[in-house]
Amino acid sequence: MDRHDLTLSGLEPPEWAARLLAPFGKNPWGENIWRVVWAPRRITMYGGYWHDNGMFEYRYVPRYGKLTAWILERWLPARHFGSPKDWEATTANAEGYLSNGPYPRFGVYMSGYQFCAPDHSYIPLLPDQVLLTVQAVHAGRVRKTWEIRDAILSEEQAREAMSDVRFEKLWHETHGVRRGSSFGKDGVIQNTDAEIEQYKAKLAATDLRLYKEEFQPGFRQY
């Protein structure tokens, strides 16, 4: 499909680039998720006021400025940018023009890596270089086993912490006139926080379980 995001003139990527990147997936229109483009050919649309002619209009301009290098780009689906209404709300300028052009309903290719020297000078494009780069970027999107485990543990700890907060809030609302303390049976002021921890320990040590739908507010259950 013609995305109107490349000029007709300029360097074409080597034939091996598309074959090398094909295994990393295709979008719904049969295009490679990853592609290599020559930076001077890459264009994008902007809308608004232009100082050179004093006009409000839409124009195609170089996406990467004056950079002369090969770019590894990755396709992002339209949903990445929200709905058309979201796009209009966030990109419309005061003059009513969409600063970043129309809603990208076919998705957009975004820069993933620039093949150039630290001073942005040109370096040749090599197969091993492209393959290793896309492998590294692609692998970074895959969650490792230990990352999944850590995420599950973090979520469980967060749930326990919220449960403790709710318990302590309910305790403070129903015990004593002085927050942080309560009166014992002998009229002695006791530390509420220590009481709460002891009560939690007793609950944890019992085998008492209650179905969620049978729970009643308060501390007395039938």
Find all residues with CB under 8 Å of 110, minimum gap 6, and list them: 73, 74, 75, 76
Q: How far apart are CA 127 and CA 114, in angstroms?
A: 15
Count of domains forming the chain: 2
Alpha carbon distance 63, 5 (integer Å):
9
Q: Are residues 23 and 80 in the same domain?
A: yes
Instruction: Mark whether 80 and 99 lie in a shared domain.
Output: yes
Q: Does the global pTM surpass 0.85? A: no
Residue 2 is assigned to a structural domain of this protein: no
| Closest by CA position to 107, among listed 90, 128, 87 | 87
pLDDT digits (tens, 9 = 90+) for 54-110: 899 999 999 999 999 999 999 999 999 999 999 999 999 888 899 999 999 999 999
Q: What is the predicted pLDDT for the residue at 177? A: 47
Say yes or no: 23 and 133 in one domain: yes
Is 61 among the domain residues?
A: yes
User: Domain check: are 25 and 72 in the same one?
Assistant: yes
pLDDT tens digit sequence for 115-137: 999 999 999 999 999 999 998 88
Residue 183 lies in a domain: yes
Range(s) of the domain holding residue 196? 145-208
Render pLDDT for 52-68 as a digit per residue (tens, 0 to 9). Answer: 888 999 999 999 999 99
Is residue 149 in some structural domain? yes
* Helices 145-174, 192-205: crossing angle, 10 deg rounding: 120
180 and 96: one domain? no
